[in-house]
Amino acid sequence: MRYAYFTLLFVVVATLSIFGLRGSITTKPPLEVFPDMDRQPKYKAQSESRFFSDKRTDRPTPAGVVPYSRTSIRAEEKFLGADDHLYRGRAKDASFARGFPDGVKVDAQLLEKGQLKFTIYCSPCHGALGDGNGITKQYGMGATPTFHDDRLRQMAEGEIFNTITMGKNTMLSYADKIEPSDRWAVIAYVRALQRAQTGTAVDVLPAHKSELGLK
């Protein structure tokens, strides 16, 4: 008996779906589940406004405004490209620049910022030591390179900057997450991680050798 009810219900639903609503015409407005989303208070282009004295909804840009886009890498480069080293990692001959831009001071404050950004955005894949042993490796991502490879040790800082900006292989762009100045902070911290793996007693400043038990 139960199957008979199910069969009847199926037949009724199928009949209504095929024939019940075909060609029906109504003058009633459609059902608005969220009327505040369907009828939002907003201005339409070239419409009239009671708020402004000239009644125009299209407003002129404020004096001194400059174009800027956080979503377009190319737009950022075009607008801020006056310093190619700082904003694109490029030298004057368009090759990848070596070293840090003149406007970037490599100090403890920059390294602290770089460590923060590196921990948030880079360490999940590259690992806290930059050795490629991040947590993503436990989930099958085994192609993450180590920063302690000679190829990356010798890589120009500008090329690392370009990789952060544009992405490479399976790594997506981080330009929308890390500001240009902070990308240089990350690069400085990467260089510090690399130096930490190859440093010797000779590299320790005399004033700090006693802290390590060195003479």
Q: What is the CA radius of gyration of the chain?
A: 30
Instruction: State both tokens at 130.
Output: 């930059």
User: 98 exposed, middle or buried (CB, 10 Å; 0-12, 13-18, 19+)?
Assistant: middle
Q: Return the SS3 of 96.
A: strand
At 60 the pLDDT is: 84
Answer whether residue 198 shows pLDDT above 80.
yes
Query: What CATH class does 73-200 carry?
Result: mainly alpha
Q: Range with the lowest mean pLDDT among 44-48, 49-53, 79-83?
A: 79-83
Residue range 114-124, pLDDT digits in tens:
999 999 999 99
Q: Range with the lowest mean pLDDT among 53-67, 102-116, 163-177?
A: 53-67
Q: What is the pTM of this model?
A: 0.62
